[in-house]
Amino acid sequence: MLARARHFAFLLIPNFSMIAFVNAVEVLRMANQVSGMDHFQWSVCSIDGAAVTASNGIAIDAIHVDRVHSAHVLFVCGGNDVHRLTKAEHLESVQRFARLGTVLGGICTGSYVLAKARLLGGYECATHWEYLIAQAETFLDVEFTRCIFKIDRDRISCSGGVTPLEMMLYIVNLSMGAAIVAKISDQFAVETVRRTDARQQVAQFGSSRKLLSEVMEVMESNMELPLSLVELSERCGVTERKLLRMFAAATGHSVMQHYRSLRLRRARQLLMQSRLSLTEICVACGFQSNSHFTTAYKKEFSLTPGQQRRHAFCDRIGT
């Protein structure tokens, strides 16, 4: 299906990520340039035909989404506050394309729109790591993954930043071959293109050591029911003493302090990006009581969870 895709449409959500959008479009442009053919075409659209302003303040001209005909792939381009800025018209538009059999994709946080429109149930999906947890807690029928991009049947999704470039190079390879992809990479001075199963790197301590990365993955997979130090060391096949030494050297904190900090950062994401209640967030992040959660959260962020949510709400309405 993707090997035959020639016309790509990009539906812009206000505050979309400019770098993610441009990286996707530029691959198509360069594919045409290096091949000497108009192999690909693209349309940029919005729900009202007006220009859409990106998160960097630059507005991009767009045509009305209803004027987009015969697109093989529709990408929804999102960014910050996608959950607030998505309108019913966005959902209706992607549902209409789905009924036409169009391949649907999400760039950066664009997958939120597809999930909200109930078009990702039973699919694996990638999104920007900063929004991954909140979306996973909100859309329980979608399997969110930390892969940089994911192609699952007629759904395509990727995280933000430079990953759309890698995703589009993969798609171009399907129809034009590796030689064209190599020429595009040369033009963009891209030395290495990651595979689709490469994972987003979100470790906070900045270490690339394999063992520490493995420990972090175990921690991130066990937030609701946190593991003890003994269980962590057993899962990772290392002694407690070695684990303590490595974490102290890499982060300046103890293993369990870092584990708690990860859980609190997840709680912060859920408070700011989801509609889960404080109690639901408390449970999802492995705290035994609301009072314990509140005390730990205030110590970490100098705000209570309730204050954090009120601040996030005020930011959204511009007060």
The secondary structure element, H or E, covering residue 25 is helix 18-35
Cβ-contact 160, 107 below 8 angstroms: yes
**Six-digit token string for 206:** 């900045």
Instruction: Return the pLDDT at 53.
Output: 94
- The backbone torsions φ and ψ at residue 9, rounded to the nearest 5 degrees and listed phi first, read -110, 145
Q: Give CA angle at 220 (159, 127), nearest 5°.
A: 15
Q: Which CATH architecture group holds 2-187?
A: 3-Layer(aba) Sandwich (3.40)
For residue range 285-297, list pLDDT tens digits in order.
Answer: 999 899 999 999 9
Report the chain's mean pLDDT, rounded to a whole number. Answer: 85
As beta bridge partners, residue 16 has: 79
Average pLDDT over residues 138-143: 83
CATH 2.40.50.140 for domain 210-317: no
Phi, psi (rounded to 5 degrees) for 253: -125, 165
Q: Do 244 and 254 meet the contact criterion of CB atoms below 8 Å apart? A: yes
pLDDT band at 262 (very low <50, low <70, confident <90, very high): confident
Q: 255 pLDDT band (50/70/90 cuts)?
A: confident
DSSP three-state, residue 70? coil
Contact 82, 13 (CB under 8 A): yes
Q: Rounded to an integer, what distance in angstroms lies between the CA atom of residue 18 and that of residue 160?
A: 9
Q: Is residue 128 within 8 Å of 13, Cβ to Cβ?
A: no
CB contact at 8 A, 244 and 255:
yes
Domain extents for the chain? 2-187, 210-317
Question: By the 8 A CB rule, do 150 and 196 touch?
Answer: yes
Q: What is the phi/psi pair of residue 64, to 5°?
A: -65, 140
Q: Are 58 and 18 in contact (CB under 8 A)?
A: yes
pTM given for the model: 0.67
Contact 73, 105 (CB under 8 A): yes
Q: What is the pLDDT of residues 73-105, one digit of tens each?
A: 999 999 888 888 999 999 999 999 999 999 999
Does the structure show a pLDDT above 50 at 280?
A: yes
Residue type, 25: V
| pLDDT tens column, 220-239 | 888 889 999 999 888 888 88
Identical fold, 2-187 and 210-317: no
Going by C-beta distance under 8 Å and a sequence separation of 6 or more, which residues neighbour residue 292? Answer: none
- What does the alpha-carbon distance between residue 220 and residue 213 come to, in Å, rounded to a whole number? 11
